[in-house]
Amino acid sequence: MSLLRTEQLGIGIAERRLVSGLELVVEPGQCWAILGPNGSGKTTLLHCLARLRQPETGRILIDEQPLESHPRKALARRLGLMPQDNHDPFPLQLREAALLGRYPHLGGWQWEGREEVARVDHILGELELLGLAERNIQTLSGGERRRLAFATLLVQDPALLLLDEPTNHLDLRRQLDVLQRVRRAVDSRDKAALLVLHDINLAARFCDRILMLMPDSACLQGPADELLNAGNLSRLYAWPMQSVAADGGRLWFPEL
């Protein structure tokens, strides 16, 4: 059974159509990269999938049931979103912010107990954030905030992970660490992931499926080793692309 399915999905902003007729099926064990130029609808698509925005046409199904039929708390156990930007209006401590990820798993009047705190501290430790657990999140750097957002998603532990530019503001080591953890989660459990990425080479390295949002609102999708070619990428980014063989794969870069 698919985790996510879209049927003739159309999305847009104002009078501009961004995506037309998207038929997407995401199954457990798949890791999808969403590629496209600025303004092509990548974030808008994730927001529609996360029920933060209404599509213009078509429908979205989670576990083969319409998205809107799932109670919001139950839906948060099935899918979770790591947003592109983090807005921190309240001066929470880092541990407190990460604990918010456990809310979908708690009863109506239930507070986080020792088990939840221990789970959060374990994840914070793995992401090298435990030493910052009592820091005011408004004092964190951009990279530390991104790692906190990723930690909160891991604490939430949904079946479908939606990650909007998860490598933003991260140094090389931590970019690879985040993507390796996503890949391991997908490979080892009944999970799937959709990641908005701008780095073609990271998409090729960590994702087995690609969704390209083309400038004319059309979509291309398929296995990464089939879809990532000079013709598709040059059309996608409106710039000639080329590649070189490296370590059993290919490295992509723009012609200059």
Give the residue extent of every domain in the chain: 4-86+157-254
Comparing CA positions, the residue from 19, 4, 8, 5 lying closest to residue 58 is 8
Tokens standing for residue 248:
């059993």
Residue 110 clears pLDDT 90, i.e. is over it: no
Model confidence pLDDT, tens digit, residues 120-171: 999 999 999 999 999 999 999 999 999 999 999 999 999 999 999 999 999 9
Confidence band (pLDDT; 50, 70, 90) for 189?
confident
pLDDT of residue 115: 87
CA 21 to chain centre: 21
Does the 4-86+157-254 domain belong in CATH 3.40.50.300?
A: yes
Mean pLDDT throughout 13-40? Answer: 96
**Closest CA relative to residue 14, chosen from 41, 38, 32:** 41
Amino acid type, 223: P
Q: What is the band of 109 on the pLDDT scale with cuts at 50, 70, 90? A: low
Give the pLDDT confidence score for residue 249 in this predicted structure: 86
Across the beta sheet with 160-164, what order do the strands follow? 79-82, 160-164, 192-196, 31-35, 209-213, 219-223
What is the pTM for the complete model shown? Answer: 0.95
pLDDT in tens, 175-186: 999 999 999 999
| 36-84 tens-digit pLDDT | 999 999 999 999 999 999 999 999 999 999 999 999 999 999 999 999 9
